[in-house]
C-alpha cells in the first residue's frame, strides 16, 4: 500500500473514531434511563475508543517527528494541542455561563476556579500533549545516544515519571497505545495484519467479560491504593490494556478493508474528510453534544419520546446512532465552514 493510500485509510480511521466518541457521549448525556456500565453499545465504545485516538496520534507523530528538531516538534504540539485545550475549555465555560444566565439559572458560578476546572476537564487533550512531549523527548534521546537497545529503559523511565504528573492514571493507561501507534508507522503491514486477525478472535471474547471495574473511571491505575488489592488491580490493568489493543486492531482492520473495498466511495471519502478535523470536532463536541444537545435530548427522551425511547435497545441502537450521525455532520460542517471563511478573510488581507 502506497503512502498516499495509507494516509487516506488512517484519515478514515480517525473519522470512525470521532463518530464513536460522539456516539458514546450521546448515549451518556442523552437522557436515557440506562445503566451505562451495563449497556452493550457503551461498553463496546468505551473499551477502546480512547486508546484508538492515542494510537492514531502516535502514528501521525511518527510521520512528522523526523522532519523537525525536538524544539520545533514541541512548539508544534504546544500550538496544536495545548492552546486548543485552553481555548476549548474557556469556550465551554463562557458558553455554559451565558446559556445558564439566559435560562435564569445562577447555579453555574462566575469563577476563575471554575474556568480552570473546565480547561482541565479536557483531560484527554492534556494527556495527548504530555504523551507527545514524553515520546518526542525519548525519541530524541535515543537518536542522540545512537543506541536503540536502551529504548525500553527510556520508555520505562518515562512511564514511571507519569506517576508524578497531572492526569497520572490516564497517562499510564494511554501511553502504551501512543508508543504502539508510533511504531506501527514503521512496521511491516504484514506483521500488523497478524495482530489484527488475532484481535478479531480475542476482542469479542474479552468484550463478553468487560465489567464496570475495567473502566478506567471506576478502578484507576494505582496498584498500591486500589480498593481491589494489588493482584486484582494488576489483572484489571492487564485486561484493560489487552481489550484496548485488540479493539484498536479490529477497527484498524475494518478501516483498511473498507478503504480497499470502496476506494472511490463518497461516504468513505466524507468519513475520511471528517477525520481531518477530529481535534476541532472533539473540542466543539463538548458544547454541542454534551451540553446544548444533551439539554434537547433529555426533553425528547424523557418527554414525548419516553414511551418508545424508554427501551434500551431503541435508545442505544437506533436513536443515539442517528443523533450521533447528525451531530458529527453538524460539527464537521461548522468546523469546515469556519475554516473556509477564515482562509477567505486571511487571503483578502494578504
Question: Residue 278: what pLDDT?
Answer: 96
Bigger pLDDT: 347 or 236?
A: 236
C-beta of residue 173 within 8 angstroms of C-beta of residue 128: no
Question: Residue 11: what pLDDT?
Answer: 93
C-beta of residue 165 within 8 angstroms of C-beta of residue 130: yes
CA-CA distance, 91 to 96, in Å (whole number)? 8
CA-CA distance, 13 to 247, in Å (whole number)? 13
Q: pLDDT tens for residues 260-291? A: 899 889 999 999 999 999 999 999 999 999 99
Domain coverage including residue 65 = 3-349
Half-sphere exposure of 274 (CA within 13 A, CB side): 27
Q: The cell 523537525 sits on which residue?
A: 68
Question: Residue 152: what pLDDT?
Answer: 82
Mean pLDDT of the chain: 90
C-beta of residue 81 within 8 angstroms of C-beta of residue 75: no
CB atoms within 10 A of CB 326: 13
H helix intervals, the chain: 3-29, 40-46, 49-65, 70-77, 83-102, 112-121, 123-145, 151-161, 168-184, 189-208, 216-219, 230-261, 266-274, 278-285, 294-301, 306-309, 312-314, 320-349
CA-CA distance, 127 to 166, in Å (whole number)? 9
Bigger pLDDT: 93 or 151?
A: 93
Half-sphere exposure of 251 (CA within 13 A, CB side): 27
C-beta of residue 296 within 8 angstroms of C-beta of residue 37: no
Q: Report whether pLDDT(5) > 50.
A: no
CA-CA distance, 131 to 175, in Å (whole number)? 6
pTM metric for this prediction = 0.92
Compute the average pLDDT of residues 40-64.
93
Q: Residue 245: which of 179, 159, 343, 318 has the closest Cα?
A: 179
Length of the chain in terms of residues written: 350
Measured CA to CA in angstroms, residue 115 lies from 112, 119, 227, 290, 315 at distances of: 5, 6, 32, 17, 33
pLDDT tier at 193, thresholds 50, 70, 90: confident
Share of the chain above pLDDT 70, in %: 95
pLDDT tier at 347, thresholds 50, 70, 90: low
pLDDT tier at 190, thresholds 50, 70, 90: low
Q: Report whether pLDDT(4) > 50.
A: no
Count up the domains in the chain and report the number: 1
pLDDT tier at 248, thresholds 50, 70, 90: very high
Compute the average pLDDT of residues 216-236.
90
Max mean pLDDT range (217-231, 303-317, 322-336): 322-336
Q: pLDDT tens for residues 123-182? A: 999 999 999 999 998 888 887 887 667 778 888 888 888 888 899 999 999 999 999 999
pLDDT tier at 346, thresholds 50, 70, 90: low
Q: pLDDT tens for residues 7-37? A: 788 999 999 999 999 999 999 999 988 888 8
Question: Residue 291: what pLDDT?
Answer: 96
Amino acid at each position: 500500500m502506497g503512502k498516499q493510500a495509507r494516509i487516506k485509510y488512517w484519515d478514515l480511521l480517525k473519522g470512525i473514531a470521532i463518530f464513536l466518541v460522539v456516539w458514546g457521549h450521546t448515549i451518556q448525556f442523552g437522557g436515557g434511563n440506562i445503566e451505562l456500565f451495563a449497556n452493550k453499545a457503551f461498553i463496546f465504545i468505551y473499551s477502546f475508543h480512547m486508546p484508538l485516538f492515542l494510537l492514531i496520534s502516535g502514528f501521525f507523530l511518527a510521520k512528522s517527528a523526523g522532519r523537525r528538531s525536538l524544539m520545533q516538534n514541541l512548539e508544534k504540539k504546544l500550538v496544536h494541542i495545548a492552546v486548543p485545550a485552553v481555548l476549548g475549555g474557556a469556550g465551554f465555560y463562557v458558553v455554559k455561563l451565558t446559556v445558564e444566565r439566559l435560562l435564569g439559572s445562577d447555579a453555574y458560578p462566575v469563577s476563575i476556579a471554575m474556568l480552570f476546572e473546565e480547561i482541565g476537564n479536557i483531560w484527554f487533550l492534556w494527556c495527548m500533549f504530555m504523551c507527545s512531549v514524553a515520546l518526542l523527548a525519548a525519541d530524541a534521546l535515543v537518536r542522540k545516544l545512537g543506541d536503540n537497545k536502551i529504548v525500553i529503559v527510556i520508555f520505562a523511565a518515562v512511564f514511571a515519571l507519569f506517576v508524578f504528573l497531572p492526569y497520572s492514571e490516564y497517562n499510564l493507561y494511554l501511553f502504551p497505545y501512543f508508543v504502539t501507534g508510533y511504531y506501527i508507522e514503521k512496521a511491516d503491514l504484514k506483521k500488523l495484519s497478524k495482530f489484527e486477525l488475532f484481535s478479531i478472535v480475542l476482542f469479542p471474547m474479552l468484550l463478553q467479560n468487560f465489567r464496570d471495574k475495567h473502566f478506567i473511571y471506576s478502578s484507576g491505575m494505582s496498584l498500591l491504593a486500589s480498593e481491589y488489592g494489588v493482584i486484582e488491580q494488576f489483572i484489571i490493568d492487564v485486561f484493560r490494556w489487552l481489550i484496548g489493543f485488540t479493539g484498536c486492531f479490529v477497527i484498524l482492520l475494518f478501516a483498511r478493508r473498507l478503504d480497499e473495498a470502496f476506494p472511490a466511495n463518497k461516504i468513505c471519502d466524507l468519513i475520511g474528510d471528517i477525520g481531518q478535523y477530529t481535534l476541532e470536532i472533539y473540542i466543539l463536541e463538548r458544547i454541542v453534544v454534551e451540553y446544548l444537545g444533551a439539554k434537547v435530548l433529555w426533553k425528547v427522551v424523557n418527554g414525548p419520546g419516553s414511551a418508545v425511547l424508554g427501551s434500551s435497545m431503541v435508545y442505544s441502537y437506533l436513536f443515539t446512532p442517528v443523533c450521533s450521525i447528525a451531530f458529527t455532520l453538524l460539527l464537521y460542517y461548522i468546523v469546515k465552514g469556519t475554516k473556509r471563511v477564515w482562509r477567505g478573510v486571511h487571503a483578502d488581507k494578504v
